[in-house]
Structure 1
Amino acid sequence: MKQLRSIRPVAILIGGIRKSRFRLLAAAVVLTLCAGSGLLLYQPLMVASGFASKEICSGAFVSGLDPDQVYADMVRPEGAIGYISSLIRLHVDHEKRMVTTTVAGLYKTQAVYGDGIGCMLVHRPEDVNIASTADFNNPVGPSDTPAPESEGLVVTVPGNERLNAALDRAFAERAQPPYIRTQAVVVIQAGKIIAERYAPGIGADTQLLGFSMTKSVTNALIGILVRQGKLDVGHSAPIAAWQNEKDPRHMITIDHLLRQTSGLALKQTSSGFDPASRMIFVERDMAGFAEKAKPNAAPGTEWAYTDGNYILLSRIIRDALGGRASDVREFAQRELFGPAGMNHVTLEFDATGTPNGAMSMLASARDWARFGLLYLNGGMAGTKRILPEGWVEYSASQTLDTGYGAGFWINRPANGNAPYGIPWGMPHVPRDAFFAMGNMGQHIVIVPSQQLVVVRLGISHHPDGLVAGADRLAADVIAALRQD
């Protein structure tokens, strides 16, 4: 593999959506710190190195994409990359299914692939073998439940010319960077795929990274445990380190974690210096790091978006199911993915067996759409109840004065903007819509009044591929169906 020339040193996006001005800040920080303390640079450069190793590994060995293209589309456009372009070395070992990144011969990170669990960052020599252990790789077969609209891999071409035009618009590319890079669009209406399209090299079974759409999957796993009586969202979060009643974190509930109102000091600025970045790309035990965070505000009083809340939820899920990665995989397949007809899914883990339920699940575009269909249908998969009665309404209910629910974004106007300057809602889509949303333009838009699910996946660095683009796509689809 040829040398990869550059990598983002700071301002790594680890979930959610990003604000472009962080790029300018990142450049200023790099210039300032390169003249000063190497110690201060350690964390952001490790974050950058880890981001490259992990996401190129997932792209190459889970999605089956060209690692050079993953680098060019996902890593290289992110942030102040020019300043250290000649210092980066990245090696993809196809035999060992491992990616190694260094910066100036230092800041080495590795990510290794394991069957069924995707890629995880290596922090100790023994971690290289974890991906092949029985705990991670107990076989989990495909669902016996037939997927909705089982067309095989034949792509559904819409007969509606206006719908075709909507897809044309979604896949239109800019002549120069920043690019939109739409990878897949799937439209489901009344339980059936009525339109889909894929970029070259992407197919109906290609698993694509959802980034923070994974938080919505964590919402579903929590919901199933609630239905089974194993968890209660109103109770204190079952985290051993917080059980002393004198500890103010004892008052944090599962609901607070789902709604991003825990008040924990797990700030997510996507600068590389922030604790959320460190948690994901530097720490071996993500949840162990997150549970040590001190309180910044009383639970339920302030909203602050952070992957940390969902990493803690991920540990709660793991522990409620037996404490092993294999327990989580088997549960998710049996209780969620199988019944929903999702057969091309990879949920990724850290080396302690905790799923990265904040930002690291890959699935085919159809399977992301089938996940949305579960919520469109009130938590039912066919005649089988997956989510508790009222869970969908709970998930889409407003948190404080924000456009966030409990693991989903809601289409409500709110004061100010969501993180990174993104508008809270989609102004051209019906108000009853709610959506899962992830970094670089991942969206599942659920519109109950239209019996509609619209999925858009890509690697976007321009607003036309972010929430504004998803708003336009969903609006175009609705307009086309009305005129059909």
Structure 2
Amino acid sequence: MYTNFVASRACYRTITIKFEVLSLPKRRYALAISVSAVLTLFVCSGFLLYQPLMVASGFTSHQICSETFVSGLKPDQVYADMVEPTGAIRFISSLVHYDVDFEKREVTTTVGGLYKTKAVYGEGMGCLLAHGPEDVQLAANANLKVGPSASLAPEIAESGVVEPGSEQLRAALDRAFAEREQAPYIRTQAIVVVKDGKIAAERYAPGIGADTPLLGFSATKSVTNALIGILVRQGKLNVSESAPIAAWQNVSDPRHAITIDDLLRQTSGLALEQTSSGFDPASRMIYLERDMSGFAEGAKLVTAPGSRWAYTDGNYILLSRIIRDAVGGRASDVRGFAQRELFGPIGMKHVTLEFDATGTPNGANSMFASARDWARFGLLYLNDGMAGADRILPKGWVEYSSSQTLDTGYGAGFWINLAASGNAPYGLPWGMPHVPQDAFFAMGNMGQHIVIVPSEHLVVVRLGVSHHPDGLIAGADRLVADVIAALRHVEVGPR
């Protein structure tokens, strides 16, 4: 934060100079005050832009690091497809410079030669933004990689890619993979269709396969929902009780009234606004703070808990901290718990859950899994929280998670297929009008969708890096509707 301090001092000094010129001779006064005004605008604008430019730099470092060293994609392609078209970065792209060190597995970014950030890869923990040399060493010493474990759930396919069983189903995938001739692009990376527990069709973009871990962005929140559910099943948490955040335990603190249910449903009332502008508290939390949950727990209340819905990563960072504390307090404890209780039992084989430097998982927007693994996760909810004959989630948890919050199209970690007043965040529609109403789904930025349709015994996964509506919820609506129509005319393979 030294750059921030220097900028603020420089801004103060420039304003001081502006007043000092009042003592100059009249002949020099006009020129001096004009120069001073320009300096004030330039320096103070830099101060005000410090946070969003650091966010842009941090986003670039982190995404290129993760997509390169977790997903195995090419850095320049990641920048072109994912980073450059995002928000205001496209307007400052000529100032953004990133350097990838393949030997150290680090990515360093600057904006106009300033606002330097570094993301470093740690074995099994993905990439984290390093806020000092100790964080670089932390990543270098990380060893969160876990071995395979026995699955309790039936396998969904053989090793080979499953081709569509009909021309109509093939056409549905063709349509979803069709690309625009000019930006903004759709960039579909993977689609997996699971009908009656078996893959009916799948397709991958060049350079991506059935085992490639892909970022779910905010679909990660639904995984956090599952980890909370497991702790509820084990009797370690109760969603209706006050959230076990140490800073809120004094009953005189109004935040003491916030429950785990409020956090899951995005109704905590905390001042953690998320606009993805770079100026917002949620952006600061993810890209500038070493201790994300420490920042989030310091937020003040702006509305009574449970009274207003406001989508923010902050609520799920706090849930992530609750999970961490409940299972042992360290990143290794979280990774072991998730593997033992969730990923292993349901057969997820290629998963990377990322952490901050304090060991709190980023359960808001930073888990990677293969498209098949995301489909296996969807099946857990399609099957009412069961993996084969074993219960993973508490009885009734799926119904709870997909029940409506206030008058929104949101449940408790999942989106639901109900029309609601107003719009969801970022101007998106609430649901999928051409898909059965009982559908619910995990959804992430740039078009990540894990759609569960109980009435059709169906899970559809669509992953990509989209910046056009045809790759976002409107595209998912069309894809799932096309798949349902096609599957009514085809038999899925042997079970």
| TM-score when normalising by structure 2 | 0.89
Amino acid at match of 1:259: R
Q: Secondary structure at the match of 2:140?
A: coil
Q: Secondary structure at the match of 1:233?
A: coil
- Which position in structure 2 is the counterpart of 1:158? 164
CA contact 1:149–1:193 (8 Å) conserved in 2: no
- Which position in structure 2 is the counterpart of 1:192? 198
Amino acid at match of 2:118: Q
| 2:451 maps to which of 445, 461, 475 | 445
Q: Secondary structure at the match of 2:133?
A: coil
- Which position in structure 2 is the counterpart of 1:45? 53
Q: Secondary structure at the match of 1:111?
A: strand
| 1:75 maps to which of 78, 83, 92 | 83
Amino acid at match of 2:471: G
Name which one, 1 or 2, has greater alpha-carbon Rg: 2
Q: Secondary structure at the match of 2:277?
A: coil
How many residue pairs were aligned? 451
Deviations 1:325-344 (A, max 9, x none): 00000000000000010000
Higher helix share: 2
| 2:304 maps to which of 292, 298, 304 | 298
After TM superposition, give the deviation of residue 33 of structure 1 in Å: 7.7
1:248 lines up with 2:254 in the alignment? yes
Amino acid at match of 1:37: S
- Which position in structure 2 is the counterpart of 1:92? 100
Q: Secondary structure at the match of 1:359?
A: coil
After TM superposition, give the deviation of residue 104 of structure 1 in Å: 1.7
- Which position in structure 2 is the counterpart of 1:479? 485
| Cα distance change, pair 270–479 in 1 and its aligned pair in 2 (3 A) | same
Deviations 1:18-75 (A, max 9, x none): xxxxxxxxxxxxxx98685211010000000000000000100000000100000001
Q: Secondary structure at the match of 1:399?
A: coil
| 2:66 maps to which of 58, 61, 81 | 58
Distance 1:436 1:101 in 2: 31
- Which position in structure 2 is the counterpart of 1:4? none
1:183 lines up with 2:184 in the alignment? no
After TM superposition, give the deviation of residue 381 of structure 1 in Å: 0.5
After TM superposition, give the deviation of residue 366 of structure 1 in Å: 0.2
Distance 2:301 2:76 in 1: 42
CA contact 1:33–1:41 (8 Å) conserved in 2: no
Distance 2:57 2:381 in 1: 36
Distance 1:197 1:146 in 2: 26
Backbone CA RMSD of aligned residues: 1.4
| Cα distance change, pair 83–372 in 1 and its aligned pair in 2 (3 A) | closer
CA contact 1:153–1:205 (8 Å) conserved in 2: no
Distance 1:36 1:223 in 2: 47
After TM superposition, give the deviation of residue 482 of structure 1 in Å: 1.6
CA contact 1:147–1:342 (8 Å) conserved in 2: no
| TM-score when normalising by structure 1 | 0.91
CA contact 2:123–2:144 (8 Å) conserved in 1: no
Distance 2:474 2:460 in 1: 14
| 2:140 maps to which of 132, 137, 146 | 132
| Cα distance change, pair 148–196 in 1 and its aligned pair in 2 (3 A) | farther
Amino acid at match of 2:331: A
Distance 2:412 2:57 in 1: 32
Instruction: List gaps (5 residues or longer) in structure 2.
Output: 1-39, 491-495
Larger relative contact order (Cα-Cα within 8 Å, sequence gap ≥ 6): 1
Deviations 1:392-416 (A, max 9, x none): 0000000000000000000001111
Q: Secondary structure at the match of 2:221?
A: helix
CA contact 1:285–1:350 (8 Å) conserved in 2: yes
- Which position in structure 2 is the counterpart of 1:412? 418
| 1:386 maps to which of 375, 386, 392 | 392
Deviations 1:372-424 (A, max 9, x none): 00000000001110000000000000000000000000000111110111111
After TM superposition, give the deviation of residue 148 of structure 1 in Å: 3.6
- Which position in structure 2 is the counterpart of 1:22? none
| 1:282 maps to which of 261, 273, 288 | 288
Amino acid at match of 1:158: P
CA contact 1:254–1:313 (8 Å) conserved in 2: yes
- Which position in structure 2 is the counterpart of 1:375? 381
- Which position in structure 2 is the counterpart of 1:102? 110
